[in-house]
Amino acid sequence: MDGQIRLPGEAFILAGGGSRRFGSDKARYELRGRPMIQCIADTLAASCERVTVVAKEAGAYADLGLNTVADHYSQQSPLSGVLTALELAGSAWAFICACDLPQLTGELCRRLWQQRAGWGVVPSTAGRLHPLAAWYHRDSLPHLLAAYREGHFSLRRSLEHQKFTIIEWDQPEILLNLNRLPEGE
């Protein structure tokens, strides 16, 4: 750990996507000699009390030593992963991120934590929201569940509600997704 106190919230990594553009399970992509999801889990474990993975199937990443639960919803999407995480969260606040953020830092997690309010705090870079690297409060669950039931699966649309706090993040590279296999691999 980098000398920082662990935050009283917990972290969830969403790894339920099909990785179609990537061509294989991107969560298992080797990054610094280890699966990317393991690197992200280690980063979050240094900042949060507990880290859980939400995937299509329970135990999908148990071989990596990661507590992995199944997405609760039949229409799987990032929104369904967020809903599952909030339903399982043992604390009021949950940091929820995607499994494809290789530059994610504990600093982002902690700085957003310091500015949390309302239903959640979401980073933005140049006007683009990053809902899969954000803190969500359990109180946002009814709003997000209503969007899911209405067939509105876009997290960005759901976060337009005034009870979400948007924070401009000055290091956009930290929020870049690795959606395609890097060239030459």
In tens, the pLDDT along 86-102 reads 999 999 999 999 999 98
Q: How far apart are CA 161 and CA 178, in angstroms?
A: 28
Residue 3 lies in a domain: no
Residue 4 is predicted with a pLDDT of 64
Q: Is residue 5 part of a domain?
A: no
Give CA 105 to chain center in angstroms. Answer: 12
Domain assignment present for 150? yes
pLDDT tens for 38-93 read 999 999 999 998 999 999 999 999 999 999 999 998 887 899 999 999 999 999 99
- pLDDT of the residue at 23: 53
Question: Is residue 123 domain-resident?
Answer: yes
Residue 109, helix vs strand vs coil: helix
Count of domains for the chain: 1
pLDDT at 167: 94
CA distances, 50 to each of 3, 77, 115 (Å): 17, 23, 20
Q: What mean pLDDT, rounded, does the chain reach?
A: 88
Pairing of the two strands 30-31 and 68-70 = unpaired
Look at residue 157 and tell me if it is in a domain: yes
CATH number of residue 57's parent domain: 3.90.550.10
**17 has pLDDT over 90:** no
**Tens digit of pLDDT for each residue in 161-183?**
889 999 999 999 989 877 654 55
Q: Is residue 153 part of a domain?
A: yes
pLDDT at 162: 87
Residue 96 lies in a domain: yes
What values do phi and psi take at 91, rounded to 5? -125, 170
- Tell whether 185 is covered by a domain: no
Buried b (16+ CB within 10 A) or exposed e, 4-15: eeebebbbbbbb
Range of the domain at 51: 10-175
Percent of the chain, pLDDT > 90?
A: 67
Amino acid 2: pLDDT: 47
pLDDT tier, 159 (very low <50, low <70, confident <90, very high otherwise): confident
Q: List, as one string, the DSSP characters of 4-55.
A: PPPBSSEEEEE--S--TTTSS-GGG-EETTEEHHHHHHHHHHTTBS-EEEEE
